[in-house]
Amino acid sequence: TIDVILERYRPLLKQGAVLVDERDEGETPRWLFYLEHAIRDGRVDGEGRVRVVSRRLQFVEIDVEGHARNAGYAPYLDYRPLLEDEKELLAPELEARLQGAQAHDLEAQAVSYAVRELVPAHFEEVRRHKVALVEKTMAAVKDRLTKEIAYWDHRAEELRLQEQAGKVNARINSARARQRADELQARLEKRMRELEQEKNLAPLPPEVLGYALVVPNGLLRRLRGEGAAGEPGLFARETEEVERLAMEAVMEAERALGYEPRDVSRERCGYDIESRIPAQPGRLRFIEVKGRVAGARTVTVTKNEILTALNKPDDYILALVQVQEGRVRGVRYVRRPFRREPDFGAASVNYDFDELWGRGEEPR
């Protein structure tokens, strides 16, 4: 599906776009680059082309100061298109702010960041999975064919002795049995070489597919002459202090339960914390943290967060944290918090905080 979309819309992606981040109340635009990265093995197809075993879209954001960061798995889900009236409003501001920014220079910077930070993780993930799978396959193939070779070796010797004794088998002779054993040996060696080639992995250079300019909601508000959002907690991220307290409270709760949490909030992967379960190697708890300050009535959840929760229903937790006067007043875990996907055009959805809080439970 991705290949079909890229084939059809690649030129359009290269033209660029302007998107709006409604959660960002800052005033500084940033660039979002989307890259395709592939990993090949040692095989080639009939036309001499390398065999790609993994292909992944990666996203890099670069601010106006040139700082790059991983934008997560699907950051575009949390952004919306620029409205017609906003285009005229933004034109002079963007021209003044972004004057001198060269797309090709930023592309090179995005590729450099991806090579340094994203490609190694993709390669190691594929290598670990692929090598384990290939080695398992090699063991199974070797076991099966070795047994067949041993059978036909034994059968060839048995028939040879019978032929020397004057007992000729009308159905098969020793030469045919020996030929069969040799064919199986050649087949085993060929298959082992092919599997070794499958283990010979190498990353290909990332390729920039397109880019977008991401405009923060705060800049649009200022250009319209509007003040900050009126309702406390409308976007569930009132201040950096509230966010910090909420994250610390959940991280502490996870450690107290015997889990091993890791902060991944900057990666925007649909949750804020990956919590490893020591008793179940390889399994993770995915926790999205939402802080609440006094007076908040709603909590905003992004489209990316909702889709992640629906895709990982048994492992996803929405952690609600009440913060008042600089202190955490309570933590609740809500499992299976969302019942359906947001509308196609929605970048985020507002939920009643008290209703979610009532469905929650003590961390466990």
Q: What is the 3-state secondary structure (H, E, C) of 304-363?
A: HHHHHHHHCCCCEEEEEEEEECCEEEEEEEEECCCCCCCCCCCCEEEEEHHHHHHHCECC
pLDDT of 255 above 70: yes
Residue % of the chain over a pLDDT of 90 = 52
Tens-place pLDDT, residues 287-321: 999 998 877 888 889 888 999 999 999 999 999 99
Does residue 234 have a pLDDT over 80?
no
CA atoms within 13 A on the CB side of 349: 18
Mean pLDDT to the nearest integer, 185-211: 94
User: Closest Cα to residue 278, out of 298, 264, 266, 261?
Assistant: 261
Most confident of 11-15, 195-199, 279-283: 195-199
Q: Are 77 and 71 in contact (CB under 8 A)?
A: no
What local confidence, expressed as pLDDT, does residue 123 receive?
94
**DSSP one-letter code for 78:** G
Label residue 1 exposed, middle or buried (CB < 10 Å: 0-12, 13-18, 19+): exposed
Is the pLDDT at 233 greater than 70? The verdict is no
Task: Report yes or no: 61 and 32 within 8 Å, Cβ to Cβ.
Answer: yes
Helix, strand, coil content of the chain in percent (nearest 5): 45, 25, 30
Residue 97 has a pLDDT of 58
pLDDT at 363 (0 to 100)? 94
- State residue 327 phi and psi, 5-degree precision: -130, 145
Q: How far is CA 20 from the centre of its chain?
A: 22
Predicted pLDDT at 24: 84
DSSP β-bridge partners for residue 285 = 275
Question: From CA 94, how far away is CA 107, in angstroms rounded?
Answer: 19
* Model confidence pLDDT, tens digit, residues 38-62: 999 998 888 888 899 999 999 999 9
Going by C-alpha positions, the residue among 275, 294, 295 that lies closest to residue 285 is: 275
pLDDT at 345: 76
Provide the mean pLDDT of the chain. Answer: 87
Euclidean distance between CA atoms 245 and 292, whole angstroms: 10
Residue 117 burial (C-beta neighbours within 10 Å; 0-12, 13-18, 19+): middle
pLDDT of 171 higher than 90: no
pTM for the complete prediction?
0.72
pLDDT at 225: 83
Q: Is the pLDDT score of 27 beyond 50?
A: yes
- Specify the pLDDT at position 336: 94
234 and 80 Cβ atoms separated by less than 8 Å: no
> Which has the higher per-residue pLDDT, 167 or 135?
135
Residue 111: C-alpha distances to residues 9, 16, 117 (Å): 21, 17, 10
Other beta carbons less than 10 A from residue 83's beta carbon: 10
Please report, for residues 23, 170, 173, 252, 309, the alpha-carbon distance to residue 314 in angstroms, rounded to integers and kept in the order given.
Answer: 27, 63, 61, 22, 9
Counting Cα atoms < 13 Å in the Cβ hemisphere of 303 gives 17
Token duo for residue 190: 């060929």
User: Using CA atoms, how far apart are residues 263 and 207, in angstroms rounded to an integer?
Assistant: 29
DSSP calls for 143-183:
HHHHHHHHHHHHHHHHHHHHHHTT---SS--HHHHHHHHHH
Instruction: Decide if 251 contacts 273 (C-beta within 8 A).
Output: yes
* Mean pLDDT to the nearest integer, 145-169: 90
pLDDT score recorded for residue 317: 96
